[in-house]
Amino acid sequence: MRPLEGIKVVTFEHAIAAPFCTRQLADLGARVIKVERPGSGDFARGYDERVHGLASHFVWTNRSKESLTLDVKRAEALAIVHALLADADVFVQNLAPGATQRLGLDYETLRERYPRLIVCDISGYGSDGPYRDKKAYDLLIQSESGFLSITGSPDEPAKAGCSIADISAGMHAYSSILAALIERGKTGRGRRIDVSMLESMVEWMSYPLYYAIDGQTPPQRNGAAHATIYPYGPFKAGDGKSVMLGLQNEREWKRFCETVLRRPALADDARFCSNSRRVAHRAELGQLIETAFGALTAGDVIERLEEAKIANAHINDMHAVWAHEQLAARERWTRVGTPAGEIPALLPPGATLADNPRMDPVPALGQHTNAILQELGYDDTRIRTLRESGAV
């Protein structure tokens, strides 16, 4: 039995944050009914056509769900929503601020009718405050949360290459829902969860916030290198390839000097004998490291790092990740269906094939509309009438 088997989730979702949250609930066995706009659906369906004609964002966040099309501005469609919520456990939404209130689907209204229902609202800035109605997209939240100020080169900030603000909010919503389900098992009552992208990303700002406490200088942008630990980042070898490495303590620094650089005297050099001093003299130390690595290939450097038990990594591109030998050795890839055929998919972290994680197909728009309506007691004539009216 999967952990969330028997849990029913109804979701009004688009883009990434809410879909990523509910996909993880589906991975654990929850039934997720995704309500989409007739004709167009979740606008993430149209972001690109990279996956056999389907959008890369959409196939990533929407497997194992059922797609139901409803025009919820119509009374007959809203009645279907309430029929779904009657025995639902969780309602998730990331519509525009105020949209659920206008539909009578906000928590304050729903809790009177469905006291066991857990309602999770995901938004850019939260349900109140001066930024409540401000539009929020991933890159905007990366900027507002301070993430851009610490990411990039000294000359220019850079965004994260994936939707990190959406992912952050989706993860916090997912874990909060799991906690609420446990709480409801004890109290019998549902609750409201209010997750904002801004607060999720500010939480992830972690040590940079505290590093800059009391008006102190914030971490500086240093490209792919760590801002406050050195050496920790990419270094170029003589064959033009770069190796990522990281030191965490003075024992490793000594081994790095002895085994990797083969300059043991550097370990006691007054400029470099603590992390703070190495950071202060990073330009000088960086030049010494690049000079030593210049006589070696990237493979040679990695061999020395492994010998010294210094953490290191390849700087992989996406093609290398698809072919990563560690993922293959651990059998982390499986396949899921889509309207355009099967595609590879990573097993959920923490799960194994023996756990039988749910890896059902990515749905076509409205694929499950008829089946869900029939389940709710609608016959073919009523369904046909709903379709003719544009309600579904």
Q: Which of 166, 194, 317, 380 is catalytic?
A: 166
Q: Are residues 338 and 310 in the same domain?
A: no
Is residue 48 annotated as part of the catalytic site, yes or no?
A: no
Q: Within a domain: residue 151? A: yes
Q: Are 253 and 247 in contact (CB under 8 A)?
A: yes
CATH number of the structural domain spanning residue 269: 3.30.1540.10
Of the candidates 28, 6, 162, 7, the one whose C-alpha atom is nearest the C-alpha of residue 92 is 7
Residue 271 resides in a domain: yes
Q: Which amino acid is at 150?
A: I
Q: Give dist(CA 286, CA 303) in Å, integer.
A: 20
DSSP bridge pairs for 34: 11, 67
- Pair 106, 238 in one domain: no
Residues 252 and 154 in one domain: no
212 within a domain of the structure (yes/no): no
Within this chain, do residues 122 and 81 fall inside the same structural domain, yes or no? yes
Q: SS in 3 state form for the chain?
A: CCCCCCCEEEEECCCCHHHHHHHHHHHCCCEEEEEECCCCCCHHHHCCCCECCECHHHHHHCCCEEEEECCCCCHHHHHHHHHHHCCCCEEEECCCCCHHHHHCCCHHHHHHHCCCCEEEEEECCCCCCCCCCCCCCHHHHHHHCCHHHHCECCCCECCCCCCHHHHHHHHHHHHHHHHHHHHHHHHCCCCEEEEEHHHHHHHHCHHHHHHCHHHCCCCCCCCCCCCCCCCEEEEECCCCCEEEEECCCHHHHHHHHHHHCCCHHHHHCCCCCCHHHHHHCHHHHHHHHHHHHCCCCHHHHHHHHHHCCCEEEECCCHHHHHCCHHHHHCCCEEEECCCCCCEEEECCCCCCHHHCCCCCCCCCCCCCHHHHHHHCCCCHHHHHHHHHHCCC
Give the residue from 314, 343, 374 where a domain finishes: 314
pLDDT of residue 204: 95
| 280 shares a domain with 346 | no
* Whether residues 112 and 251 fall in one domain: no
Taking only the tens of pLDDT, the chain with its 392 residues reads 899 999 999 999 999 999 999 999 999 999 999 999 999 999 999 999 999 999 999 999 999 999 999 999 999 999 999 999 999 999 999 999 899 999 999 999 999 999 999 999 999 999 999 999 998 999 999 999 999 999 999 999 999 999 999 999 999 999 999 999 999 999 999 999 999 999 999 999 988 999 999 999 999 998 889 989 999 999 999 999 999 999 999 999 999 999 999 999 999 999 999 999 999 999 999 999 999 999 999 999 999 999 999 999 999 989 999 999 999 999 999 999 999 999 999 999 988 777 888 999 999 999 999 999 999 999 999 999 999 999 99
Domain termination site, one of 314, 349, 377: 314
Q: Which two tokens stand for residue 96?
A: 């525009």
Task: Judge whether 146 and 205 are in contact, CB under 8 Å.
Answer: yes
CA distance 88 to 30: 11
b/e burial code for range 114-138 (CB count within 10 A of at least 16 → b): beebbbbbbbbbbbeeebeeeebeb
CATH number of the domain that residue 186 is part of = 3.40.50.10540
Please tell me whether residues 45 and 99 are part of one structural domain. Answer: yes
Same domain, 120 and 35: yes
Range of the domain at 183: 8-205+330-389
Task: From 256, 281, 314, give the residue that closes a domain.
Answer: 314
Into how many domains does the chain fold? 2
- State whether 14 and 79 are in the same domain: yes
pLDDT at residue 21, rounded to an integer? 98
CB 35 within 8 A of CB 14: no
Residue 211 lies inside a defined structural domain of this protein: no
Q: Is 200 contained in some domain?
A: yes
